[in-house]
Amino acid sequence: MRSCGILSGRLPISGRMNKSVDSHSNRNPSPLWPWALALYARPGVSEALLALQDKADLDVCELLWGLWLLAHDRAPVAELASRLAPVRQWRQHYTKPLRRLRRDLKAQAAGHPVLEQMRTHIKAAELQSERETLRQLEALTLSASIPCPPHEAFKAFSRLLIGELAPHHQALISQLHLESENMVPPSC
């Protein structure tokens, strides 16, 4: 694959909006956490991500990382699974149990201030766990992704992080990709 975007200092012609050569040339990618928060806050994004998490069993943090890679003209490498293993173990051991506890407490906490406070603390711990997941994913960027033309990057993203999905889930991924492309990258 040929180099593009970040490393070459030029932007491939892809019809992207709100991107400038200056946002990519000779700079490191924008930090993942604030980028992910900005994307998550856009209309419809949180709903789409949570639907993909709950209905297609995709990991929101991996999706955000993959979209962030695409926004920086990078694609995941073919041997991604072994590099993601420690991140996935973290998620399995910490994030998923916290999410399960938070969700299990929802009905019981309604109208019970002490339980609602406990649920709020669990929710904060879950968010911290997701932030740690994104930190781990961002740390993998140089070893687990390569500069790549946008159309090739999306193919790799789809193949390596998403796999086969139902058409309505594929449509959500496409909407998320478009939404992330339309974001103005945070300044570095």
Give every CB contact of residue 46 below 8 A, 6+ residues apart in sequence. 40
**CB neighbours of residue 49 within 10 Å:** 22
| pLDDT-derived band at 54, boundaries 50, 70, 90 | very high
| Residue 4, phi-psi category: left (phi > 0), alpha (psi -120 to 50), beta (remainder) | beta
The structure tokens listed for 37 are 């928060």
Cβ pair 50, 145 in contact under 8 A = no
Q: Which tens digit of pLDDT belongs to each residue from 66-116? A: 999 999 999 999 889 999 999 999 999 999 999 999 999 999 999 999 999
Burial class (CB in 10 A: 0-12, 13-18, 19+), 150: buried
User: What does pTM read for this prediction?
Assistant: 0.80
- The ranges assigned to domains in the chain are 21-181
